Amino acid sequence: MPQPPPELADLSQRLCTRIVEEIENDGSMPFDRYMAMALYEPGLGYYVNGLHKFGSSGDFVTAPEQGKLFARALARQLDEIGEALAPPWTLLELGAGSGVLARDLLESMRKPPARYLILEPSAVLREVQQETVAGLPPGLRDRIEWIDRPPTESYSGVVLANEVVDALPVSRFRIENGQVLELAVNVVDDRLELTPRTGSERLNAALQPVIQRLPHPLPDGFESEICLDLHGWLATVTESLERGVALFIDYGYPRAEYYHPDRSGGTLVCHYRHRAHFDPFVWPGLTDLSAFVDFTACAEAAVACNLDVAGYTSQAGFLLSLGIAEAVGEVDDEYERLKLSAEIKRLTLPGEMGEKFKVLALAHDFEQPLSGFESMSQLHRL
Ligand SMILES: C[S@@+](CC[C@H](N)C(=O)[O-])C[C@H]1O[C@@H](n2cnc3c(N)ncnc32)[C@H](O)[C@@H]1O
């Protein structure tokens, strides 16, 4: 891993000091607490320290950062939902990153929503988003509003989150002698390390029913993650969606694949300067931490939140159903066509983002079919 410049190494060191102090005061730290600190500790965490950059010069590139085609295809789905809802309708984007998706959606939609709300926990990223959308015509830009918490008044609309669920802090566990052990963060020989301890009641209560219903028993040594806050988070972000759809796009699997015995090291991924690795203790605060999403858990949480599971497919299935490939036929310039083809390949090929990323649609009082899920539904796999 490349050594960061001294001022960044110092920032990471200050975050480590805070983590170590908390461990010294409270004992070993649950991994979800560690992940929350590594990503969001005020002034120091990865998403809030002002260093984070999206795109080719940052640590990773998300689908909307690849070009405008992702947003254009998604805009078709949103237009369809918007038409079915009585205007005015609201779009709530969670975790808008650099703001490119907001900008490109507002530019691409035939009938943009009356309000485009952005719920972004990072003050630094809000500023980046404000710069990104500054060039929109005032009639579009003025629809955007940054909010600190989900709206409390009921609304008709869409909740949208691209690569946000993977950033929710997860707990880590290991199976040993058929028992669940929690992997918690400790200081061993002056280094942060994961060490096993008896699983908390909350972890056991959430995991036991999952493990018991898996098609394969989990072998000893199997390690993985579970997001204990998923249900509470989903309830909060969809609470006032009176009528409409929530769309979650992220990398993940249905549960049987997520906890497949072959995936015995779990799904945690760390990104540091375009290098993916698996050690969550490398440069905390300078490294993005995320875990794949258990989409079956999302569907279960949705049902518990009184939402219908309205669609589930791969990102390729979703974008191709919404006509992403048509963009190539619409341009004459050969160079432009090649660029668009390359973008479509990155978004839809199985070895790129096409199969690893999935799209989940949850609906409340909304029964119209959703075009993005019609031709390649994978609902049966959840
Ligand atoms: C990997 S980035 C994705 C950014 C953007 N959606 C994209 O696709 O480029 C994760 C984003 O989610 C935000 N985020 C993290 N946790 C969140 C939460 N609990 N609620 C809302 N946003 C969150 C981060 O601050 C960041 O903007």
Tens-level pLDDT at each residue, the chain (382 residues): 788 889 999 999 999 999 999 999 999 999 999 999 999 999 999 988 877 666 666 667 899 999 999 999 999 999 999 999 978 999 999 999 999 999 999 999 999 999 999 999 999 899 999 999 999 999 999 999 999 999 999 999 999 999 999 999 999 999 999 899 999 999 999 999 999 999 999 999 999 999 999 999 999 999 999 999 999 999 999 999 999 999 999 999 999 999 999 999 999 999 887 788 899 999 999 999 999 999 999 999 999 999 999 999 999 999 999 999 998 888 888 899 999 999 999 999 999 999 999 999 999 999 999 999 998 999 999 9
Collapse the DSSP code of 183 into the 3-class scheme (helix H, G, I; strand E, B; otherwise coil) and give the result.
strand
Smallest CA-to-CA distance from 363 within 310, 296, 304, 291 is with 310
94 lines ligand 1 (CB under 6 A): yes
Distance CA 120, CA 125 (A): 7
Q: Which domains does the chain have, with CATH numbers?
A: 1-382 (3.40.50.12710)
Residue nearest to atom 14 of ligand 1 (CA): 95
Three-state DSSP class for residue 29: strand
pLDDT for the residue numbered 69: 96
Q: Is the CB of 251 under 6 A from ligand 1?
A: no
Instruction: Tell me how far the alpha carbon of residue 217 is from its chain's centroid.
Output: 28
Nearest C-alpha neighbor of 237 from the set 168, 312, 290, 294:
168
Distance CA 293, CA 304 (A): 18
Output the pLDDT for position 331: 84
With the most atoms of ligand 1 within 8 angstroms of its CB, the residue from 46, 147, 164 to mutate is: 164
* Residue located via tokens 């950062």: 65
CA nearest 319: which of 362, 367, 294, 352?
Answer: 352
Q: Pseudo-torsion of CA 120, 79, 361, 339, nearest 10°?
A: -80
Cβ of 290 closer than 6 Å to ligand 1, yes or no, is: no
Report d(CA 222, CA 215) in Å as an integer. 15
Whether the CB of 218 sits within 6 Å of ligand 1: no
E-strand ranges in 164-267 read: 171-176, 179-188, 191-198, 223-226, 241-253
* Among 92, 82, 137, 68, residue whose Cα is nearest residue 112: 82
C-alpha closest to that of 254 among 245, 267, 268, 235: 267
Closest residue (by CA) to atom 2 of ligand 1?
97
Q: Is 372 in the pocket of ligand 1 (CB under 6 A)?
A: no
Q: Does 64 contact ligand 1 (Cβ within 6 A)?
A: yes
Q: What pLDDT score was predicted for residue 86?
A: 79
Q: Is the CB of 357 under 6 A from ligand 1?
A: no
Look at residue 61 in the predicted model and tell me its pLDDT.
83
Long-range contact pairs involving 210-216 (C-beta distance under 8 Å, separation at least 24): 210/255, 210/259, 210/297, 211/180, 211/259, 214/255, 214/256, 214/259, 215/256, 216/256, 216/260, 216/261
- Going by C-alpha positions, the residue among 298, 218, 324 that lies closest to residue 264 is 218
Tell me which residue has tokens 């809030």. 48
3-state secondary structure of 190: coil
Per the DSSP assignment, residues forming a β-bridge with 195 are 184
In order, the DSSP letters of 58-116 are SS---GGGG-SHHHHHHHHHHHHHHHHSPSS-EEEEE--TTSHHHHHHHHH-SS--SEE
Residue identified by tokens 């649609």 is 361
Distance, in Å, from the CA atom of 178 to the CA atom of 164, rounded to the nearest integer, reads: 32
Phi, psi dihedral angles at 354 (to 5 degrees) = -60, -45
Pairing between strand 179-188 and 171-176? antiparallel
Q: Ligand 1: does its nearest atom lie under 6 Å from the Cβ of 4?
A: no
Ligand 1, atom 1: nearest CA belongs to which residue? 163
> Which of ligand 1's atoms lies nearest the C-alpha of 54?
9
What six digits make up the tokens of 322? 């919404």
Residue 20 · residue 299 · CB < 8 Å: no
